[in-house]
Amino acid sequence: MEYPIKASCQCGQVSYQLTVPPQRVIACYCQECQKLSTSPFSITAVVARSAIEFTGEMKQWSRIAESGNENRAKFCPQCGTRIYHYNPQTPELIKLKLKPVGASVDTSFAPSLHIFISETPSWYQLPQGITAYKKGEGAPK
């Protein structure tokens, strides 16, 4: 896979260029991520802020997570696509929500860790052989 790679929101107003592979890709099954993705889980690519360049206007929304940490979300004000999340206490790491399109990037954005699996809907079957943690279990950072 060759970097940089590019992606955009649904309307194209916000885009990014990522210069290196994600540090980690996580599938989160918590109820907040289910709301965000309207699916059983949400995919998050953890990347260094210094490895990504954004273009376009973004708006911000925030909430307090169960952990007590603030979770800030950046999104496109035109189409509403969530772009990334970050904790203001660790602004050097962002949790990218946009997945680049194309067969060559699929493996770079495949989840290597599944968290909050205890909140998985009963009708969803988790993949076999995954590294997974239930709610409250300490996943590696």
CA angle, residues 17, 11, 14, in degrees to nearest 5? 35
Q: For residue 139, is pLDDT > 60? A: no
- Predicted local confidence at residue 138, as pLDDT: 60
Q: For residue 104, is pLDDT > 80? A: no
**DSSP character at residue 123:** T
Domains of the chain: 5-133 (3.90.1590.10)
Distance CA 62, CA 70 (A): 7
CA distances from 98 to 2, 3, 19, 123, 124 (A): 18, 16, 15, 26, 23
Distance CA 82, CA 75 (A): 4
Location of structure tokens 């599938």? 27
Q: For residue 105, is pLDDT > 50? A: yes
